[in-house]
A and B are shown apart, each in its own frame.
Chain A
């Protein structure tokens, strides 16, 4: 059986993966844009933003509550979500019942979908690194 030699990726390659991963987390779609896939980047950006915006419109920004486990999933949309949590608590906004429930589901699922996109962008960036190394 033919052995596959491991591909060494230098510090530049690792830095590229980190930039793609962090970029994709900060602004949905940025990761795909950085690896040269602008169509995918635009679709991801608009889709994640739509789901998140619909979530906070349905339940108000009170659905972003740092005291609930949903917050960790919502933070996957972008670290900027922390600002909404700050606004929500400083304005003493409240949301209960079905609107809150649906708003939490929308914003949290948008976050988890962004995590999927982050992983996908880093994987594709890693493939680019391997191609360059070859």
Chain B
């Protein structure tokens, strides 16, 4: 049953936000990459010690971002060479 309270809580989630087809939209990948890095490290590290954990997460986050940029640059290069 949908009550007024439910509708009030969900009001902010009933319409999508505007996301343009711009290079800036790619930044939306960053929070997701951060969550992936955090969850992966939580399952891998035996005991959570704040500084060590944060360092590991930052290293993984940076690695993913750097490799995605490299992959994008390589694909861009291949397309430029083959299609022009």
Contact = CB atoms under 8 A, between A and B. Distances in A.
Interface of A: 39-40, 43-44, 47-48, 50-51, 54, 56-62, 87, 90-91, 93, 95-100, 102-103, 105-106, 109-110, 113, 116-117, 120
Contacts of B28: 58, 102
A54 B16 CA distance: 11
Given A50-B35, A51-B31, A117-B39, A60 B13 contact: yes
Contacts of A48: 35, 39
A51 B35 CA distance: 7
The 10 closest A-B pairs by CB, nearest first: A99-B16, A120-B43, A39-B48, A51-B35, A113-B39, A98-B19, A95-B16, A60-B16, A47-B38, A47-B35
B2 to A, nearest CB: 6
Majority-rule SS of B interface residues: helix
B18 interface: yes
